[in-house]
Structures are given as C-alpha cells and as structure tokens.
Structure 1
C-alpha cells in the first residue's frame, strides 16, 4: 500500500490514482470499441442492440462526465488510503493473515452486497423527484457505448463509489481483492454498455449466463427505464419481477437463436 507522508506524496498519489482510474476507463472503452466496432464489425453487426443513432457529441459529453467521475473516485481512494494508514480500515496485505478460502469468499460477499446496494439505489434514483437531479445524466445516453460506463452526475458517481470503500471498514479485504473488485466493476460496466451482445447464443438460458448482465439486458434499461436495474447480476430483477419481458426475445434476435425467436413470437 502506498504511504502518504506529506503534501507532496499526497498530490503525487492522487495524480497516479487519477491516471490509473481514468486510464483504465479509457483503455477498456477503447479496447471494447475496437474489438466489437472495428475488428469484429462484420461478425457482430447483427448483434447491435440499438439501431437509433447516438446523439451528436455524445462521446465527448460522456468522456467529460467520466473525467469528473474519475476525479471523484480518486478523491475517495485517497480517503481510503489515509484511513488505512491511520489504522481505521480492515484492509490487509499479508495473505496468511486470514484463512485462504476467505479471499474468494470475500470477493463473492462484496459483490453480493454491492449488487444489493446498487439495485435498490438504482430504483431510488428512478423516482421522479430524484431522477432529474441524480440519474438523468446517465440516461441521456439512450444508445450506449463503452464510453457511457463512467458517465454519471457527480452525485451519482459519489453514491456509486462509496459502497466498496465503506466495506473496507467492516470486512477484512486483501489489497489485491480490492483491486480485483474494481477491475471487475470496470470490465462489467464496459460490457454492459457496449451496445453489442458479446455473449453466445443461449447464454441467457445457461446455468451461469442467466444470472449475468450483458449489453442486451442493460440496453433495455436505457430504452425502457422501468426494468433491469441490476449491476452485475440479474437475481434481484428476477426476485423483484423487474426484469424486462422483452429480454429473452431480444437476446435471441441479437444472437441468432431462431428456435427461441419462434418460441417468443
């Protein structure tokens, strides 16, 4: 863990974290855009979820909001580092400090808590009195792209960012587990906003795939607003009956599943 010993190292650490956070966003966004919009354009053209053109200047606006989001994420990260140095968090660096099975279990537990927090936060953000001030910025991107993945109003960015840092005060988490969780969050968000379905045919019925959110699932949230509130997983949407009734049919259309298309027609 980086040690902050004075104003100089504080600003240097903040700069390094900002470069890592915003750079990670740019790297994954460009990577997914290149893979599924350029190098695999012909193979995946039929999997595009929305046909509505993106608004003029939408990429630029999304990158601008994402820049601000990255600054907020950086500030929170610095706060966690300072709290760790003061002995307030339960982050640990020695793998032998806890039984090895706790390492994967802690990741699963944090993802479940994060999913639960986000689902109910997301539903709250869609309340009329809240939506306009908190969530509308993200929904300006009706047709999404990987650039949309960090495009949030500062209030939403803060609300989204606080859950994992708070958990570091409650749960013992290895420093690499925290990093892995943040990486999963970035990759998942890019995939969900890709606007191109990368999962294979029938994956929505697979024992694992039926619980994972992808581009088709999340695109319906941006298009319909009142369904598909999940972050990583579909279980809260299934449990609360908020999964779009159009999901399986649309997934079949985007992945060429003729059998399922006939069943849903």
Structure 2
C-alpha cells in the first residue's frame, strides 16, 4: 500500500494508467454484476419469482445497447473520480485510514451508516432537483429513457448526472474518517443496491413492510414506481426522506403486496 501511495499519480502517464485500470474495474464490475443478477433472477430462478416481475416486457436490443453505451461513459467518469480520490488520499486531503485501531471498534460500522445517510440525503435532494422540468430534459431524462428497467439500467446516466453522482464519495471521505475496507463496503452496497433497485424483480419477501428495519430499505417495487410515475420515490437506499417529505408513492405498499403474493398458477422448476 505504501509503494502504491508513493506512485506520482499527478504525472500524466500514471494518472491515465490508473484511470484506465479503474475504468476496466468499474465497467467490468457493472457488466458482471448486472449479467449475473439477470441470469439468476430472470433465467435460473424465473419460475420462483415470475409473480414478482414488475410489468416486465422483453428488452429491446436497442435499449440494451443504449444502456451499455451510456454505462460505459458513466464508468469513465467514475474512473476519473476514483483516480481523483486516490490523489486526494495520497496528498493527505482525506480521512481514509488503513489502521483499524485508529478508532474504537464501534466507530467503523457507525462511519458506514453516517456515509450512507449523507449519500442518501445528497441524492434525494439532487434527484428532486433533477426532476425540475428544464433540468430533467437536459440531464435526467437519459436515465428515464429506460421506463422498463433492468439490471443494466443501474449505470445508464447522462454525463452531467454521472459527474454529480461521482463527486459524493470523495467529498464524504474528505470530511468523514473512514477505514479503507469500510469504504469498500460502501462501494459494494452502492453497486448491489443500484442493481437490485433497477432489476424489475422484487426479491424481498412480503413480510418486508412489516419489519421495523427492513421497511426502510428500497427495493425494485419502490424504484420501479419512480420510473413509471416520475413524481414519487426519489430515494436511493432508504425510504425515510420520501416518507418524511410526503413523496412516497401512495401506490407503493399496495403494489408491493400484490407483487409478493404467492403465484398459485406457477410451479417451481417448471
């Protein structure tokens, strides 16, 4: 790690080499996670979860190509953000640590929850701003071109939106002390959450809404309604800002219950 941080990443050669490495990692992660998720829930387990598919129609090849192309652009921007984060860390501008003993054990999960809360708050209000008519047409409409979402939709953003999303993690670690591995967990949650929420298949059980903790977590039904209704469900990971600000779809709980009802017409393995 020390030799890595001693590499002069501000020099153009090392800067673009590291950015290229990050691009390959980010884009391949997107393709692999989206592809595996699609295979598991649309192909392998389809008989078990078919009753939970949210009005899913066969994806047009044109939309799939569009989403992958736009996701490649997003991956380039995220790669530049990752390189900038490394340089900030290298120059001592972040609070990233590799020493577990630098903080009490309880601080590490707390720092993760604080980071998730900050990200959730930032994205909720950014998302509402992007739905202003003029901003929406110029920026956010790219993402909403995918009305019938899939796991490939998770990275399909306009470059401006990608930049606005890419800056939040570097900003968080500039101000919030965090262990490097906790940062990796945060990035993992970001990837998995985006995939689950866009995949169009509600994988959470019917009891989710009755659980005092789980009911605050966003799943496919919640975000699918955003893509179809536009005026509701702006959250990223959690539902609390939507609940507090009165922007949660009034149809959410009813549709969630419908989509998680056992399908008596299907048989497992058929």
Alpha-carbon separation, structure 2, partners of 1:25 and 1:57: 19
Q: What's the secondary structure of 2:234's corresponding residue?
A: coil
Structure-2 residue corresponding to 1:236:
241
Following superposition, the deviation at residue 53 of structure 1 comes to 4.7
Cα deviations across residues 6-55 of structure 1 (Å, max 9, x unaligned)? 54433332222112111111111011100100001111111111245544
Which deviates further from its counterpart, 13-22 or 152-161? 13-22
Following superposition, the deviation at residue 56 of structure 1 comes to 4.4
What aligned pairs does 1:239-250 form with structure 2 within 5 A after superposition? Answer: 239-250=244-255
Cα deviations across residues 229-262 of structure 1 (Å, max 9, x unaligned)? 000000000001111011111111111079xxxx
Cα deviations across residues 121-165 of structure 1 (Å, max 9, x unaligned)? 000000001101110000000000000000000000111111111
Following superposition, the deviation at residue 203 of structure 1 comes to 1.1
1:33 and 2:26 are equivalent in the alignment? no
Q: Is the 8 A contact 2:56 2:200 kept in 1?
A: no
What aligned pairs does 1:97-246 form with structure 2 within 5 A after superposition? Answer: 97-246=102-251
1:9 and 2:14 are equivalent in the alignment? yes
- Root-mean-square deviation (Å): 1.5
Q: What's the secondary structure of 1:50's corresponding residue?
A: coil
Give the one of 45, 48, 52 matched to 1:47: 52
Cα deviations across residues 185-230 of structure 1 (Å, max 9, x unaligned)? 0000000001011011121222122100000010000000000000
Aligned length: 258
Structure-2 residue corresponding to 1:64:
69
Give the one of 92, 96, 99 matched to 1:91: 96
Alpha-carbon separation, structure 2, partners of 1:27 and 1:71: 17
Q: 1:248 to 1:75 in 2, by over 3 A?
A: same
Cα deviations across residues 43-86 of structure 1 (Å, max 9, x unaligned)? 11111112455444111110111111010000011111111111
Alpha-carbon separation, structure 2, partners of 1:199 and 1:182: 21
Q: Is the 8 A contact 1:53 1:143 kept in 2?
A: no
Taking structure 2 as the reference length, what is the TM-score of the superposition? 0.92
Q: Is the 8 A contact 2:197 2:219 kept in 1?
A: yes
Alpha-carbon separation, structure 2, partners of 1:107 and 1:140: 32
Taking structure 1 as the reference length, what is the TM-score of the superposition? 0.93
